Amino acid sequence: MWTAYLELLARDAPAVEYEAPVLDARSAGESAEVIDQLEEGKRLALQVRESLLTQRRREDELSALYDTAYDLARLSDLDSVLEAIVHRARQLLRTDVAYLSMNDADRGDTYMRVTVGCTSARFKQVRLGMGEGLGGLVAESAMPYNTASYFDDPRFNHTSPIDSAVAEEGLVAILGVPLQLGSTVIGVLYAANRNQRPFSRSEVALLQSLAAHAAAAIDKARLLDETRVALDELRSVHLLLQERTRSVERAADAHDRMARAVLHGGGVRQIGAALVDVLGGELLALDEENRLLESVGDPVRPDPEVLEQAVAASLASGRVVAVPGEGTSWSVVAVTVDQEQFGSLVLQRDEPLDDADQRIIERAAVVTALLMLSLRSGIEAENRVRGELVDDLLRAGRPGGQDAETLTERARRLGTDLAQPLSVYVVTLDGADRRRGASAVDHIASLRDGLGGAFEGRLALVLPPAEDGAGPDAVARQLAAELGATLAHPVTVGGAGPVASVPELSGAHDEAVRCVTALVSLGRAGQGASLAELGFVGLVLGDQPDVPGFVTTALGPLLDYDERRGTDLVGTLQAYFDAGGNLARTREALHVHVNTVAQRLDRVGKLIGEDWQEPERQLELQVALRLHRISQ
């Protein structure tokens, strides 16, 4: 009798087959006692069968949980973990839909993160405030909740957005369990059906178990994500430090190159070459007037107006200024010391400089400024020595002046030979910057193997003869042109000389002063000339007329000839002018033959120049003769 039920249990027969032994006994006409025993055996067998099924289902669930835990442990990124959790929840509970929401601590609500089986876009985007709907209640209370019919369940705070989303998805029965880390709820895991049916305790417990594994996996994934983010940040920081290190090394290399260039006696060009070696491109080094000092490579200048604006902006900010161009880029930085501008550096490259490379060119500007300041200090110190010598030279012919031998030795040490004929040039700046003017005078004097400096409020040059044989008048014009171009301002220069000895320099200086004064009075500011070139006009307009000097300039060769030979060429010239240029009347006044007059006048022409009969020259000679006669 009991064997039949054991056989049914052994082969896991369906529940309906457990009715067969009872039916067979009734058909065989068995007694009521036997049938009752079979009914009891059937009841017990079905209980055993149910227990076995429950056990088997529990084993399947545990196996599924173990598989889930294993699968979750193998996943590393958070999105994959969340997807796996929701898929496994739907699979284990055999529901229509499964989904997971995460708490947003910043907004104080919970939002849908992952859904499986859902079709409604609104449902996937819904957000639940704490305590709203089933999910909001689970998230707020940290307790599981389920309902066989969501819309009929009064336990939940129904809101229009939530209920509309649930209705659109067609959900009826919903189970939600909290995802917890310790006492903190981080989200809610759901299983839902589109038909009305309750969730058993075992299903609630199963989803809770899955949620526990899920929370741990989420925490692990979060930690991994945070670790990955931290590693990425560390990697980025490492790359940044590497780049910064390379920038520092490049800057140090540039500084070392520039320092070596300066220490080895290099100038602006060598600094620029070191800069180009590090940064690439081509370089312009300009002075304060944007004129070229040096270049490295073959750079193209920016538009002059744009360049001027960029230099001004760099001077104001102390930083490099980018000037974009078509297919190229210029980086402009002013070369300054305490807002005093020495010039600028202009680097041309295909690409603009980054921040680190901008610091390098700014450092190059500082090194260049220090070099130029040092050079200027050295030049100024040397120029002070030269200026002091110029002052002493121009005082040598005055009482208390130094002796010529001492001055000659001082000049020799500075590379100037005073044994040769010397000319003096006085410069009037006519409003130009005096400091720049003094520097320009010193520079031009050194180029001509002479001396430059200040004397009695004016700038003066003491120069040897020009290499091309030009006289003081031509040299004065050259100096006026050169200084005017350098200073971008009219400069007037008066010349005098040459003189054969140091004591005569004082007198030449006085003559040059009268010449420059006469030039300004004549409206010829910005030009150069000598007093001899101006003739008697210089005598009239000079601030201190030098009658003996004018007479000597005009008649000196004749006076010297008469004194050496005992002749009277000066008297013959006077008689010729008094006779109105008539040879016969001149012969009568001198009581000599007309041929003698002609011979004497021919000698005059050879001594003072064949142009002596030109109207302007005759006027100067007649004035000089009159002054000579008065002085006698």
Split at pLDDT 50, 70, 90, the class of 301 is confident
Split at pLDDT 50, 70, 90, the class of 195 is very high
pLDDT at 350: 81
Indicate whether 274 and 371 sit together in one domain. yes
pLDDT at 194: 94
pLDDT at 305: 86
Indicate whether 8 and 31 sit together in one domain. yes
- Residue range(s) defining the domain that contains residue 502: 396-530
- DSSP at 149: S
- Residue that finishes a domain, picked among 465, 498, 530: 530
- Residue that finishes a domain, picked among 200, 227, 254: 227
- Does some domain include residue 92? yes
Task: Give the strands of the sheet with 292-296, arranged side by side.
Answer: 292-296, 282-287, 340-349, 328-337, 321-325
- Cα 513 to Cα 400, 435, 494, 542, distances in angstroms: 22, 20, 7, 8
The answer to whether the bond into 178 is cis (omega within 30° of 0) is no
Mean pLDDT confidence for 360-369: 79
Percent of the chain beyond pLDDT 70?
88
pLDDT at 38: 72
- Does some domain include residue 234? no
Main-chain phi, psi angles of 491, to 5 degrees: -130, 130
Indicate whether 183 and 110 sit together in one domain. yes
- Does some domain include residue 386? no
Indicate whether 88 and 51 sit together in one domain. no
Element (H, E) at 128: strand 127-129
What is the value of pTM for the model shown? 0.45
CATH value at residue 610: 1.10.10.2840
- Does some domain include residue 313? yes
Could you read off the pLDDT of 315-348 as tens digits, one per residue?
Answer: 888 888 888 877 788 888 888 877 777 778 888 8
pLDDT at 544: 52
Indicate whether 100 and 44 sit together in one domain. no
Could you read off the pLDDT of 33-66 as tens digits, one per residue?
Answer: 777 777 777 777 677 777 766 666 666 665 665 6
Indicate whether 450 and 519 sit together in one domain. yes
- Does some domain include residue 244? no
- Does some domain include residue 391? no
Residue 388 pLDDT > 90: no
CATH value at residue 328: 3.30.450.40
Split at pLDDT 50, 70, 90, the class of 95 is very high
Indicate whether 142 and 121 sit together in one domain. yes
Indicate whether 360 and 437 sit together in one domain. no
Burial 589-608 (b: 16+ CB within 10 A, else e): bbeeeeeebeebbebbeebb
- Residue that finishes a domain, picked among 497, 530, 563: 530
Number of domains in the chain: 5
Q: Concatenate the DSSP letters of all residues of 181-242 into one string.
A: ETTEEEEEEEEEESS--PPPHHHHHHHHHHHHHHHHHHHHHHHHHHHHHHHHHHHHHHHHHH
Indicate whether 403 and 506 sit together in one domain. yes
* 373 and 366 Cβ atoms separated by less than 8 Å: no
pLDDT at 489: 85
- Does some domain include residue 351? yes
Indicate whether 183 and 327 sit together in one domain. no
pLDDT at 114: 92
CATH value at residue 500: 3.30.70
Could you read off the pLDDT of 436-464 as tens digits, one per residue?
Answer: 888 888 888 888 888 888 888 888 888 88
Query: Residue 195 class from Cβ within 10 Å (0-12 exposed, 13-18 middle, 19+ buried)?
Result: exposed
Indicate whether 97 and 209 sit together in one domain. yes
* Nearest by Cα to 501 from 470, 468, 462: 462
Indicate whether 353 and 282 sit together in one domain. yes
Residue 422 pLDDT > 80: yes
Mean pLDDT estimate for the chain: 81
Residue 543 pLDDT > 50: no
- Does some domain include residue 240? no
